[in-house]
């Protein structure tokens, strides 16, 4: 028997490693926030000055955390419709997770070099590639009969809704990143609002 035909069939293992990597990536984000020393913080005014000085770092932290949350929900949503896995689908998810694990780095890079347009480009690429992975893996699952049979009567509508969600998000991220050519604060603010909108949207009943 060909090994490739029997490899990577346990969907539960994808869910387990995904939860672990997302948890670690979310934890790593906070490590970029450094606690000021006693020499720096000596009064209430110093506390206020510190938070005002580091406001963009805190914005970047929440931006990265929400980004990871959105991707976790997106992958979790996809896996809900999958009944089994195979070698290719498993590796598509591993590729997705490798890009997810880079988000703490690209978020930290953005917080340190937000004035540079290239930092927004790097951050946007790190948003784009996981989105592409989700799109490809879902298309692959649909084409290769990996989806759960009970959703078949309404699966075309599910597929359209899921794919459109990914495409719309990526277009908005691209527009937000391009705003850095006008002002980096405008770019950060727009991307942050987009993230909040998508996060809140998951809890809205349509």
Return the higher-pLDDT residue of 90 and 159.
Answer: 90
101-106 own/partner pairs: CB under 8 Å, 24+ apart: 101/21, 101/24, 101/25, 102/126, 103/25, 103/29, 103/64, 103/67, 103/68, 104/25, 104/28, 104/29, 104/31, 104/32, 104/64
Looking at residue 56, what is its pLDDT? 78
Return the higher-pLDDT residue of 205 and 26.
Answer: 26
Which tokens belong to 1? 């028997």
Tell me: pLDDT of 202 over 50: no
What percent of the chain has a predicted confidence (pLDDT) above 70? 94
206 band by pLDDT with thresholds 50, 70 and 90: very low
């Amino acid at each position: 028997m060909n090994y490739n035909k029997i490899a990577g069939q346990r969907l539960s293992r994808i869910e387990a490693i995904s939860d672990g990597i997302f948890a670690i990536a979310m934890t790593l984000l906070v490590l970029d926030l450094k606690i000021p020393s006693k020499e720096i913080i000596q009064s209430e005014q110093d506390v206020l000055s510190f938070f005002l000085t580091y406001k963009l770092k805190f914005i970047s932290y929440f931006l990265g955390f929400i980004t990871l949350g959105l991707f976790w929900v997106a992958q979790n949503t996809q896996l809900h419709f999958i009944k089994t896995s195979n070698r290719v689908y498993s590796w598509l998810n591993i590729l997705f997770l490798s890009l997810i694990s880079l988000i703490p780095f690209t978020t930290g890079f953005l917080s340190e070099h937000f004035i540079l347009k290239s930092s927004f480009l790097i951050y946007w690429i790190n948003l784009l590639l996981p989105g592409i992975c989700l799109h490809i893996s879902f298309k692959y699952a649909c084409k290769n009969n990996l989806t759960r049979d009970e959703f078949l009567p309404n699966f075309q509508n599910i597929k359209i809704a899921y794919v459109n969600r990914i495409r719309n998000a990526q277009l908005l991220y691209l527009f937000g990143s391009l705003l850095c050519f006008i002002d980096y604060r405008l770019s950060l603010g727009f991307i942050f609002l987009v993230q909040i909108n998508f996060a809140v949207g998951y809890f809205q009943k349509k």
